[in-house]
């Protein structure tokens, strides 16, 4: 058996020879838009439709267009049709749609609304495409061979307006990406004219902010907009529009941010309702129909719709950001440019197109003038021309004889020879030669225009004004000042209500509202488990869990799911993301971090720490060194500010010691070991700690001592109120 031939190769050579060509192909020929605002896939598709006569023609099947486009774009029909869908007015992805459609093309704001198959839909080019292709037949742009050399295609389209900023465009290449927002066409044309007059012009007054196809309200921040205009990078916040239907007690959302979908919004709202963070909502549904987008949120009685929307803006994609990255190809090189720089590059490209169109006209008119000047010479002696033609025996000698007879060029002689016999009269020739003077004037004007930047700019300005007037529309995205909007904090957006927390010995936790608790039955717990703690709190309260090993975990009560008395509750390690081995041994609840915590340990020591020691400026979830871990913690107690209590420590040898909380000194260090309260006797340890009121001891003074530590007194049955019953000889 022959061994396989293994050839070693440097990884740098592999990257250079194999990966780099692929990366360049993706960047230049696929993902990044060029200065005409189109990617190659868009351009190939639109040019195919243009050659099919679909600017002025009738609608045709999308499948037909997809098939024809494959002559330029050798990709699968699905990819081509998906490109077509995004360009249509039916899909709504573009602020200035380029394809007029008939049929179901889905909607850009819906993730699940699928577009129909290509065989069921029809399309044609929108009228605005006349501005994309206007002078393409005048050699305004370069043409190259298609992939198999069977036909030519344009490298760019000579668009008469800056389409690069008129429509949104997104692409992910290798090592770079592009995300271009869109601007209102009227404002964009005015801004382009301003930049043409002054490349450093401040566009914030002319074109204050982007405009999106899905509308919404843009939170205007001048500093952020200026940064985007200057660098081409930045973020824009857009929020949904809504109206409150008082009669139905519901909120109707009818415009959403361009960067999200209806399904994403609804899914998040449903999650908030399930987790108890949006109790004001009774139902949410998608009511989008042929009239347009509509998300309906039914409210519970007494709900403030504006306050609820402020919360939903904060917690859902009803307010979303559009990250701008104006990465475009300029002469084959990717560049991240600001708005002014993009418009300057487009103007440079457009001036080139205009010059080439003018040069084309000059060439054509010059050729026509040359022919007419030859025809004017015939006017001097028509009979001579007729005689030359009649007396020439060989047909191939007609043109040379005319050239010789009138001293004209071959082109002029060919033109004269092709004139019909009926037109060889003085009237026809005079009418044609009368154009000579007009042509000379036109050529003179064209040559002056080609050589004058000011004239070219005037021509571009005129075209921009015509485009704005003909295809411009009002803004879809409303602009509101970000300074006028108060961003609610999480606590402000959470409904606050009274509740009770129930903790079991085995680590289960229930959160039940006080309203639900009134009608609840007995609390259900797992077999062999028992309730060890009940705490009344608010939904905004801070809950601190203490775990073995001296670690504390903090979370808000509103992050704990609502439960019922008939359920077991949530396993606390699962809520906190802990391992099963880390057992919870205590819990404290607070609204203001006032009060004190008392920790009792197996070795008989007790420590008192202010609750404020667990308050942090940052929203930290985990605190190490929350209490001393040198001896296992038996129990912990929360002491409200200004209150005192009495605690009883029981040892496993049957003894008990009572200590008042003011006898335990306050320490500022969380991990303090505290002071010794109960001494060990023959290796005994503290097994249980309870409040005096819950200890069952009726003569508490017997277990109090003047000094600590103390061994404690033996607990007798009489101390617990249990009387001994004696039986006499008579059975009494």
Q: Residues with catalytic annotation? A: 120
Q: Which residue has the tokens 């307010």?
A: 319
CA nearest to 380, candidates 418, 417, 420, 407: 407
Give 116's DSSP letter.
P
Tokens at 241, concatenated = 């529009």
Tokens at 219, concatenated = 């939170």
For strands 217-220 and 478-481, give the pairing. Answer: parallel
Helix 77-87 and helix 62-69, axial crossing angle in degrees, nearest 10 = 120
The string over 716-727, giving b where at least 16 C-beta atoms fall within 10 Å of a residue's C-beta and e elsewhere, is: eeebeeeeeeee
Region of residue 721 (left: phi > 0; alpha: psi -120 to 50; beta: else)? left
First-residue to last-residue Cα distance in the chain: 106
Tokens at 170, concatenated = 């997104």
For strands 169-172 and 152-154, give the pairing. Answer: unpaired
Burial class (CB within 10 angstroms; exposed 0-12, middle 13-18, buried 19+) of 420: exposed
Q: CA-CA distance, 597 to 600, in Å (whole number)?
A: 10
Strand, helix or coil at 649?
A: strand
Are 604 and 655 contacting, i.e. CB atoms less than 8 angstroms apart?
Answer: no
Are 392 and 462 contacting, i.e. CB atoms less than 8 angstroms apart?
Answer: no
Strand, helix or coil at 130?
A: helix
Q: CA-CA distance, 500 to 513, in Å (whole number)?
A: 6
Q: CA-CA distance, 302 to 305, in Å (whole number)?
A: 9
Q: CA-CA distance, 26 to 43, in Å (whole number)?
A: 16
Are 641 and 594 contacting, i.e. CB atoms less than 8 angstroms apart?
Answer: yes
Burial class (CB within 10 angstroms; exposed 0-12, middle 13-18, buried 19+) of 344: middle
Spell out the residues 6+ positions from residue 125 whose beta carbon is closer than 8 angstroms to its own: 46, 49, 50, 54, 55, 98, 99, 100
Are 357 and 140 contacting, i.e. CB atoms less than 8 angstroms apart?
Answer: yes
Give 289's DSSP letter.
B
Are 531 and 504 contacting, i.e. CB atoms less than 8 angstroms apart?
Answer: yes
Sign of CA dihedral 196, 200, 204, 205: negative
Q: CA-CA distance, 397 to 262, in Å (whole number)?
A: 78
The string over 224-254, giving b where at least 16 C-beta atoms fall within 10 Å of a residue's C-beta and e elsewhere, is: bbebbbeebebebbbbbbbebeeeeebbbbb
| Residue 233, phi then psi, degrees to nearest 5 | -130, 150
């Amino acid at each position: 058996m022959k061994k396989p031939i293994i050839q070693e190769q440097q990884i740098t050579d592999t990257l250079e020879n194999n990966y780099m060509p692929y990366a360049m192909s993706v960047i230049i020929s696929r993902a990044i838009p060029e200065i005409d605002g189109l990617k190659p896939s868009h351009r190939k598709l639109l040019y195919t439709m243009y050659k099919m006569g679909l600017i002025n023609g009738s609608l045709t099947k999308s499948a037909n267009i997809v098939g024809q486009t494959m002559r330029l774009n050798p990709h699968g029909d699905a990819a081509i049709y998906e490109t077509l869908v995004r360009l249509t007015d039916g899909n709504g992805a573009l602020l200035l749609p380029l394809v007029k459609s008939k049929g179901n093309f889905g909607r850009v704001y819906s993730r699940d609304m699928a577009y129909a198959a290509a065989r069921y839909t029809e399309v044609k080019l929108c009228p605005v495409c006349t501005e994309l292709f206007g002078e393409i037949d005048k050699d305004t742009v370069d043409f190259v061979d298609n992939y198999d050399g069977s036909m030519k295609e344009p490298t760019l389209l000579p668009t008469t307006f800056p389409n690069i900023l008129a429509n949104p465009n997104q692409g992910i290449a290798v090592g770079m990406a592009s995300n271009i927002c869109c601007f209102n066409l009227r404002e964009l044309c005015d801004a382009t004219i301003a930049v043409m007059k002054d490349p450093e012009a401040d566009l914030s007054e002319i074109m204050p902010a982007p405009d999106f196809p899905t509308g919404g309200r843009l939170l205007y921040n001048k500093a952020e907009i200026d940064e985007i205009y200057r660098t081409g990078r930045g973020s824009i916040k857009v929020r949904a529009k809504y109206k409150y239907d008082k009669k139905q007690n519901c909120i109707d959302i009818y415009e959403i941010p361009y960067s999200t979908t209806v399904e994403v919004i609804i899914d998040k709202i449903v999650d908030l309702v399930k987790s108890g963070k949006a109790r004001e909502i009774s139902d949410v549904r998608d009511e989008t129909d042929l009239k347009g987008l509509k998300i309906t949120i039914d409210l519970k009685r007494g709900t403030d719709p504006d306050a609820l929307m402020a919360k939903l803006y904060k917690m859902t994609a009803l307010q979303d950001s559009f990250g701008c990255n104006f990465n475009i190809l300029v002469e084959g090189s990717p560049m991240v440019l600001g708005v002014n720089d993009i418009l300057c590059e487009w103007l440079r490209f457009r001036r080139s197109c205009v010059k080439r169109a003018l040069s084309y006209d000059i060439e054509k008119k010059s050729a026509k003038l040359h022919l007419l000047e030859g025809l004017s010479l015939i006017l001097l002696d028509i009979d001579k021309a007729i005689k030359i033609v009649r007396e020439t025996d060989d047909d191939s000698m007609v043109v040379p004889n005319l050239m010789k007879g009138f001293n004209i060029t071959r082109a002029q002689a060919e033109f004269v020879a092709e004139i019909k016999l009926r037109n060889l009269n003085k009237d026809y020739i005079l009418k044609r030669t009368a154009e000579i003077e007009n042509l000379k004037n036109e050529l003179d004007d064209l040559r002056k225009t080609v050589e004058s930047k000011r004239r070219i700019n005037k021509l571009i300005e005129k075209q921009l004004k015509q485009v704005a007037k003909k295809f411009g529309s009002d803004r879809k995205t409303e602009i509101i000042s970000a300074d006028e909007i108060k961003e609610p904090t999480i606590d402000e957006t959470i409904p606050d209500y009274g509740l009770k927390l129930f903790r079991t010995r085995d680590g289960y936790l229930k959160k039940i509202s006080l309203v639900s608790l009134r009608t609840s039955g007995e609390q259900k717990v797992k077999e062999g488990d028992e309730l060890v703690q009940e705490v009344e709190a608010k939904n905004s309260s801070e809950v601190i869990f203490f775990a073995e090993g001296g670690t504390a975990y903090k979370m808000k009560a509103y992050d704990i799911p609502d439960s019922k008395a008939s359920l077991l509750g949530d396993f606390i390690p699962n809520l906190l993301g802990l391992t099963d081995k880390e057992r919870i041994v205590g819990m404290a609840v607070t609204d203001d971090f006032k009060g004190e915590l008392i920790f009792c340990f197996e070795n008989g020591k007790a420590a008192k720490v202010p609750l404020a020691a667990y308050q942090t400026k940052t929203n930290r979830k985990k605190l190490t060194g929350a209490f001393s871990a040198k001896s296992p913690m038996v129990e912990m107690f929360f002491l409200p500010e200004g209150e005192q209590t009495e605690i009883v420590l029981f040892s496993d040898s049957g003894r008990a010691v009572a200590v008042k909380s003011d006898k335990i000194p306050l320490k500022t260090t969380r991990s303090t070991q505290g002071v010794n309260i109960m001494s060990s006797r023959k290796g005994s340890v503290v097994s249980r700690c309870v409040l005096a009121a819950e200890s069952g001891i009726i003569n508490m003074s017997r277990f109090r001592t003047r000094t600590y530590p103390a061994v404690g007194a033996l607990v007798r049955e009489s101390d617990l109120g249990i009387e001994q019953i004696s039986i006499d000889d008579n059975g009494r």
